[in-house]
Structure 1
Amino acid sequence: MQSDLERVLFEEATILRRLDEMAAQISEHYRDRELTVIAILNGSLMFMADLLRRIPLPLRLDCLSVASYHGKTETSGELIFKQVAPDVADRHLLILDDILDSGQTLVAVREKLQMANPRSIRVCVLLRKKKLRERPANADYVGFEIEDEFVVGYGLDFMERYRNLPCIGVLRKELIAQPK
């Protein structure tokens, strides 16, 4: 599968070193508070597991399943919440997502969770694409900034493939044009 990559952007060791740094920042910010982590599935699964093991704080974990790509390389703009948001009233929330691309998913999730009156909401993403977004979407914690390219691996997929790659890389363009 790694041979399907045009190039590798981040090897596993580089990703894990960055997660150590992010976990330290998050732990410092939430040191005297209980944290509720809301992970957006399926893409954030690897990121979530590796990051949360590095945070030595009491925390709660819940997951939301939200779809916006529907087998494409760009978001359709239509979001489907496949699960109801958990009870988050009066809690400090940290939303985890694999990638900040168009920002539509994070904006929609944040708005949905905000209606439940949490004490605070912060956002943590593994990757943030350098691009202009239609709607402002910010992340408080960012693993890596990347160019506006289609990436896979470490939880990120194309047509539900490549999630299990230990690295993050740019998928060869001819594979995107001719999905199997």
Structure 2
Amino acid sequence: MDQPHRNQGYPLQLLYSPERIQTEIARLAKEINASYEGRELLVIVVLKGALFFAADLLRLVTVPVRMDLVKLSSYAGTESCGTVRLTKDLEFEVAGKDVLVVEDIVDTGLTLVYLLDLLKQRGAGTLRVCTLIDKTERRQAEVTADFVGFHCQGGFLVGYGLDLDERMRELPAIYQMIQDHDGEI
């Protein structure tokens, strides 16, 4: 890891450089292309965080794609509040479709389980998940991603779509926020 630096007053440690992120995205796109060859894919992007990841990923996906957006909320600051709310619903029907959910990070799993249950109820033909970051140590719900960029342990992450109260999404790399001696960010 590089030396810590500050952004918007927060101490940050570089975790994944822009180049490393793009390398993982290229690998994921190849896996998705191979898995869905000859089929049309409905990609559901989970807003807002996955927007950066999805844009770069979908530019490398070669199978036919339709895209929809969904927005769910479950965080306040650095902690999950444990309750998931749907704040922007889908526009397309998912019944009978090959559906790929694109998520920036799977952490507690509560948001993803909520979304997957909703898509199953609506009759998705096949249902898989692609996430840039999988943090299994905080998992509260049983869920597994099918396509994973990075397996990450610990820490609160920002940058490349990941945010702290809507700040630092625009950073081109992914950083871990550094805690002080009391465990506070």
1:133 maps to which of 113, 128, 139: 139
Number of the residue aligned with 1:26: 32
The answer for unaligned runs of 5 or more in structure 1 is none
For 1:35 and 1:111, the matched residues in 2 are separated by 19
Aligned to 2:80, what secondary structure does the other structure show? coil
Say which SS state the counterpart of residue 52 (structure 2) adopts. helix
SS of aligned partner of 2:131: strand
Cα deviation for residue 135 of structure 1 reads: 1.7
How well do the aligned residues superpose, as a CA RMSD in angstroms?
1.5
What TM-score does the superposition give when structure 1 sets the normalisation length? 0.92
Letter paired with 1:79? V
Higher fraction of strand:
2
Q: Deviations over 1:70-99 (max 9, x none)?
A: 3x2121111110122341111000001100
Report the alpha carbon displacement of residue 148 of structure 1 after superposing the two structures with TM.
Answer: 1.7
How far apart are 1:11 and its partner, in Å? 0.3
Runs of 4+ in structure 1 over 6 Å off: none
Aligned residues: 175
Q: Does 1:3 align with 2:6?
A: yes
Residue type matched to 2:174 in 1? I
Which amino acid in the other structure matches residue 115 of structure 1?
Q
Residues of 2 paired with 1:137 and 1:118: CA distance?
A: 17
Write the distance in 2 (CA, Å) between the matches of 1:35 and 1:170: 33
Asked whether 1:163 is paired with 2:169, we answer yes
Q: 1:9·1:169 contact (CA, 8 Å) conserved in 2?
A: yes
Partner residue, 1:79: 84
CA distances 1:135-160 after superposition (whole Å, capped 9, x unpaired): 20100000001112100000000011
1:117 aligns with 2:123: yes
Q: How does 1:29-48 map to 2 (within 5 A)?
A: 29-48=35-54
Q: Are the aligned partners of 1:130 and 1:148 in contact in 2 as well (CA < 8 Å)? A: no
Distance 1:116 1:33 in 2: 20
Over the matched positions of the two proteins, sequence identity in percent amounts to: 35
* Structure 1 letter corresponding to 2:157: V
Deviations 1:14-51 (A, max 9, x none): 00011000000000000111000000000001000000
- Is residue 64 of structure 1 aligned with residue 66 of structure 2? no
